[in-house]
Structure 1
Amino acid sequence: MADETWTIRRCVDWTVEYLAGRGMEHPRVSAEWLMGAATGYDRVDIYSNYDQPLSPEELAFMHDAVVRRAKGEPLQYIVGEAPFRSLTVACEPGVLIPRPETEMLVELVLDRLGKTIPGMEKPVRKRVELPWNAEVQRIADAERAAAEAERSARASLEGGDLIEAAAPESFPSETASTEGASAEEDRVEPGVPTEDPASTVSLPPVRILEVGCGTGCISLSLATERPGRVRCVATDISERAVSLAERNRAACGVDAATVDIRLGDLVSPVSPDEEGSFDALVSNPPYIPSAVMETLPAEVGMHEPRLALDGGEDGLDVFRRLLDAAPRMLKPGGLFACELFEDALNAAASLCRHAGMDHVEIMPDLTGRSRFVLARIPQRL
């Protein structure tokens, strides 16, 4: 019977009602995420295919997924992935889920390295000659010529005493496109490099050490956003995290020489001959104070690994170990950057200064909360 058919609309609406009835926040967001995982559709496709019947396999996935979600399991574990900057990384239980806040840590590292290391600046977007650009230019030239002819004619009729008029609106000219390219001209086509490889080929690679890599999202973002310039060593004490990071590396098309993922506690996988060779040490370590752990939402506290969350009494246990290791790992002038608990940033900054670091900064996340501490190893005199 028709009313027994489970369409996308019927399943989404039922899921929203079911999750809301069990006290889940944002039940429609959950329903759309789960439906997208079941069908392979994005949000727009879900709504444009509302009357499409679900296959038995899709319906079975939704049944299992809704039950798991109702028990508080994070969406990222259920659907098996999470967005992070320009990447989509696989997620699985036992490995910390990437957070939007951590995307800002990547941004800060790229920004600070770009101010001190040649070739690490934000890539300049190159103008791409799109098929219609020639026709646009022809029209713009014709309009400029017609406007100039009209202006000259009016100047002649008025005795040549015409005040210079503002140029009429038209398509961007060649001059305008070089001084302030339009959005269309500034587009970068997939696969087109945003900088001249020859300009960076002679520069030594920027070496970054990430401690506690989890899914690998930080190192993979750094490497893919500065292609050819960055070499990362990423460590994690969890075998499951290392395995997942390796799979994400392969899925992102990054080779092991560019992002070298290693199993071990903090900096222990770094060999003695590598010490002092890194331009940056980056980490999103366990930083939740132990007392706060008990107040975390059940979705986090009951499902994500405590090893990746609990930072000790003040949230700075692992941070102190990283701070002790940083002078040994980093080059003079090297960057030390960590994401931390918002109430621990002042103490962390003081510890950095006490350790002899300079250029100590506390930076906010996207919500305005103090979230990151950045510092540098002093340059040798």
Structure 2
Amino acid sequence: MIKTWKIIDIINWGQDYLKNKEIESPRLQIELLICNFLSLSRIELYMNHDKPLSKDELAKLKEAINRLVKHEPIQYILGETVFYDYTIKVNNAVLIPRPETEILVEESIKEIANVDKPIDILDIGTGSGCIAISISKAYPDMSIYGVDISNDAIAMAKENTKLNDTSVLYKRLDILTEIPNKRFSAIISNPPYINLTDYKELDENVKEYEPSFALTDRSDGLIFYKRFAEIFPQIIQEGGFFAIEIGFGQSEEICDLFSSNFSLRIIKDFAKIDRVIIGKLKN
């Protein structure tokens, strides 16, 4: 007799299987998969433990569990994540948004409020579009632009912009060799800032699944900041500012790059690590 699998059966089996494979938070991961694949809320999940699974549902869930065992990030398996309270679709063409980047968004939103209107905002290395979209939700009447070197990333950003009912204009642009053809009131960026040595030490699931060009500049981690220091004075309007995310131990060197043209302020993250630099163009 063929066993009929219920939701509670796949939860218990999957939890034990993932635990034996030393996957973190196995129960939570299983429940997230089931909620996503069966379009259930967490409350609905608990109310439907005895619901039988179809053969197709069971096969898809077991396939997803096996992907978890291979250490593929659950965000890629689900095809989405939550950033700044907004649903953001992700695939392996874009970096999975991190909680630290929400600090960059929060500080940028605060700073934009102090800039004279009209305001044009540029997001460099837009990736999934999570930064541009979050700012557009806060300021729906402002002109927001996102640029990225990857056409696949831009396609994902456009999809997320439509999903979140926002208005952001996207363009492929290599910021290391090209310069935007206009000035902006605010420039925001979370560039690749992990140096090559540290990148080699990252967890295998990060290196195997997330796009390396979004994580490392394959050098000292400062290539993009050096470029920004060179071009920002040319493309930031009078009275404007930039906001950039930085890595551990980089704040002093990066501040030195910008100090001649910008008044600088550093914001720490939840771990009290320097994480964001705000720079206001000097008169």
What TM-score bracket applies, with the shorter chain setting the length?
over 0.9
Deviations 1:117-163 (A, max 9, x none): 36xxxxxxxxxxxxxxxxxxxxxxxxxxxxxxxxxxxxxxxxxxxxx
Does the CA-based 8 Å contact 1:349-1:362 persist in structure 2? no
Partner SS for 1:31: helix
1:38 aligns with 2:33: no
Partner SS for 2:275: strand
In structure 2, stretches of 5+ residues that fail to align are none
Which of 121, 124, 140 in structure 2 is aligned with 1:227? 140
Partner SS for 2:221: coil
Q: CA deviation at 1:25?
A: 1.6
Q: Could you tell me which residue of structure 1 aligns to residue 195 of structure 2?
A: 289
Q: CA deviation at 1:22?
A: 1.2
Q: CA deviation at 1:42?
A: 2.3
| Counterpart Cα distance in 2 of 1:24 and 1:315 | 30
| Counterpart Cα distance in 2 of 1:304 and 1:260 | 24
- With normalisation by structure 2, the TM-score equals 0.94
Does the CA-based 8 Å contact 2:193-2:215 persist in structure 1? yes
Q: Could you tell me which residue of structure 2 aligns to residue 213 of structure 1?
A: 126
Q: Could you tell me which residue of structure 2 aligns to residue 54 of structure 1?
A: 53
1:307 aligns with 2:216: no
Q: Could you tell me which residue of structure 2 aligns to residue 266 of structure 1?
A: 175
Q: CA deviation at 1:52?
A: 1.2
Q: Could you tell me which residue of structure 1 aligns to residue 150 of structure 2?
A: 238
Does the CA-based 8 Å contact 1:212-1:285 persist in structure 2? yes
Partner SS for 1:110: helix
Partner SS for 2:217: coil
Q: CA deviation at 1:206?
A: 1.6
| Counterpart Cα distance in 1 of 2:37 and 2:279 | 45
Q: CA deviation at 1:291?
A: 0.5
User: Which aligned pairs between 1:1-381 and structure 2 lie closer than 5 A?
Assistant: 4-114=3-113, 116-117=114-115, 204-228=117-141, 230-254=142-166, 258-266=167-175, 271-272=180-181, 274=182, 276=183, 278-353=184-259, 355-358=260-263, 360-379=264-283
| Counterpart Cα distance in 2 of 1:236 and 1:108 | 22
| Alignment-mate amino acid for residue 165 of structure 2 | G
How many pairs are equivalent?
283
Q: Could you tell me which residue of structure 2 aligns to residue 156 of structure 1?
A: none
CA separation of 1:313 and 1:267: change in aligned 2, threshold 3 A: closer
Does the CA-based 8 Å contact 2:176-2:227 persist in structure 1? no
Q: CA deviation at 1:270?
A: 5.7
Partner SS for 1:302: helix
| Alignment-mate amino acid for residue 208 of structure 1 | I
- With normalisation by structure 1, the TM-score equals 0.71
| Counterpart Cα distance in 1 of 2:119 and 2:7 | 48
Q: CA deviation at 1:221?
A: 0.7
Does the CA-based 8 Å contact 1:85-1:221 persist in structure 2? yes
Deviations 1:27-61 (A, max 9, x none): 22211221111111122222222111122232121
Partner SS for 1:342: coil
Does the CA-based 8 Å contact 1:287-1:312 persist in structure 2? no
Partner SS for 1:253: coil
Higher strand share goes to which structure? Answer: 2
Deviations 1:323-348 (A, max 9, x none): 21111110122111111111112211
CA separation of 1:30 and 1:219: change in aligned 2, threshold 3 A: same
Does the CA-based 8 Å contact 1:314-1:344 persist in structure 2? no
Q: CA deviation at 1:377?
A: 0.9
Does the CA-based 8 Å contact 2:180-2:235 persist in structure 1? no
Does the CA-based 8 Å contact 1:213-1:219 persist in structure 2? yes
Q: CA deviation at 1:269?
A: 6.7
Q: CA deviation at 1:271?
A: 4.9
| Counterpart Cα distance in 2 of 1:329 and 1:270 | 8
| Counterpart Cα distance in 2 of 1:323 and 1:271 | 14
CA separation of 1:357 and 1:117: change in aligned 2, threshold 3 A: closer
Deviations 1:299-340 (A, max 9, x none): 211110111111344311112112211111101221111111
In structure 1, stretches of 5+ residues that fail to align are 119-203
| Alignment-mate amino acid for residue 220 of structure 2 | D
| Alignment-mate amino acid for residue 283 of structure 1 | S
